[in-house]
Amino acid sequence: MKTTKTVKLKIKKGDNVIVLTGKDKGKTGEVIEILRADNRAVVRGINMVKRHTKPSAASAGGLVEKELSIHISNIALVDGKTSKPTRVGYKLNQDGTKSRIAKKSGSVIDQVSQAG
């Protein structure tokens, strides 16, 4: 039985990420889905596999290419300024809002929410 310990993930849906290890090392893509319980993410165009599907009323069947999930530790956010992998940090603004920042360049990625 797997213990489900959810941790705060610093990568969100819609982020551009780069693959650090594995068969797709160096490729970039957009995060489609975050699987928080498994610490995994589905990234567009990364970890592609072919599935043999049976014909059904909804689809014709045959070979279907789809993305499988990749562990969150094997991807890193792409810095908007330098286009290189960066870690994500948080910064509290003067007006009480919290922002995600890129550790390498210090640039603001996006506003998170009201702090506290």
Q: State pLDDT tens for residues 98-108.
A: 888 888 888 88
Strands (E), the chain: 16-19, 28-35, 40-43, 48-53, 62-67, 69-71, 75-78, 85-86, 88-92, 97-102, 108-114
Q: State pLDDT tens for residues 20-34.
A: 999 999 999 999 999
pLDDT of residue 6: 67
Domains of the chain in start order, with CATH, are: 12-78 (2.30.30.30), 86-116 (no CATH)
Reported as a pLDDT band with limits 50, 70 and 90, residue 80 is: confident
Does 15 have pLDDT greater than 70? yes
Reported as a pLDDT band with limits 50, 70 and 90, residue 49 is: very high
Per-residue pLDDT, averaged over 86-114, amounts to: 83
Alpha helices in the chain (DSSP H): none
CA distance 77 to 28: 9
Per-residue pLDDT, averaged over 90-114, amounts to: 82
